[in-house]
Amino acid sequence: MEGWEKVFISNKEFAETIHGEMGCVTCHGGNGQAEDKEEAHQGIRREPIAAEACDQCHTDVHNDATSLHSTLRGYDTVIRDRSSEETWQIIKEEAFPNHCESCHTSCGQCHVSRPTSTGAGLAAGHEFKKIPPMNLTCTGCHGSRVDMEYKGKNEGIPGDLHWNQQGMPCFKCHTKDEMHYNLGFEENHRYDGPQMPGCQTAECHADITDDGSVEGHDKTHLSTMACETCHAAEYKHCYSCHVQKSDEGVPYFKIEPSVMGVKIGYNPIQSEERPWKWVVLRHVP
């Protein structure tokens, strides 16, 4: 998108919506009384702070800022456990702000615009979408792995049957409670708490019980193996990702070619909610 296209509000109807009537300053700050451009933009915020803007009306999503979708919590603990104190300081001060944090989401990056990591820009003239458009938001960040695997875009590998047979969008399984962190438990990494989405807890596969009425789905299998252990197709594994800065100070990264495959192994984080001995694993840098 051209620079002007990213911010141009082309739909006049927006001014008549609830958000349009609130005016720019209510969410973005700045000086609405100033006639000078520089003065008007003093204190302006590109990304409104949810606690100050959104939460005033949307009290049911006030936990969003502490969700994994926003914090990426879990990556920091894993990387720190594998780093020396000296290396960790560099990662925390350089790598995270320059690379990892570019994927952090705000309310607007799902409901108003394309994600910053894909170049940003209003998705539909500042119109607020209650249900984010999957192809502009979800797959903007989760495109190289999830989108290609789910939709069968990797050559010779079938897509997920939820997409092939039903055309199910992301939010059919990944609910607003998961995205907005209305879960009722503390979430420190992606494997905390019950599996989300859960094949049986979502009542989609309620007929799968451990009585063996469905072949291969007896108590032994269901208690020791996650569903994906048998039902997964090949998926992407990434290797040797290194983040750096150019001589001009521009952040960039290098990564080896990815490999497709299925890896079955011991469950590294067994819990009461995830008791299985066998799960599928993904190699990531």
CA-nearest of 207, 213, 176 to 62 is 176
Q: Per-residue pLDDT for 267 more than 90? A: yes
The pLDDT tens digits of the residues spanning 179-221 come to 887 777 777 777 887 787 777 766 788 888 888 888 889 999 9
CA 71 to chain centre: 10
For 71, counting Cβ atoms within 10 Å of its Cβ (0-12 exposed, 13-18 middle, 19+ buried), the class is middle
Helix (H) or strand (E) holding 88: helix 85-90
- Distance from C-alpha of 201 to C-alpha of 196, rounded to nearest angstrom: 9
> Sign of dihedral through CA atoms 129, 130, 134, 139?
positive
Give residue 235's pLDDT: 94
Domain segments of the chain: what residues? 208-285
Give residue 201's pLDDT: 66
Q: Per-residue pLDDT for 58 more than 80? A: yes
- Distance from C-alpha of 145 to C-alpha of 256, rounded to nearest angstrom: 15
The pLDDT tens digits of the residues spanning 163-183 come to 999 999 998 888 888 888 777
Q: Would you say 42 and 30 are in contact if contact means Cβ atoms under 8 Å apart? A: yes
State whether residue 16 is helix, strand or coil. helix
For residue 78, name the pLDDT band (cuts at 50, 70, 90).
Answer: confident
Mean pLDDT of 233-261: 88
- Distance from C-alpha of 239 to C-alpha of 22, rounded to nearest angstrom: 47
Give residue 5's pLDDT: 84
Give residue 165's pLDDT: 94
Q: For residue 82, give every residue at least 6 positions away whose Cβ sits within 8 Å of its Cβ, in sequence order, or none.
A: none
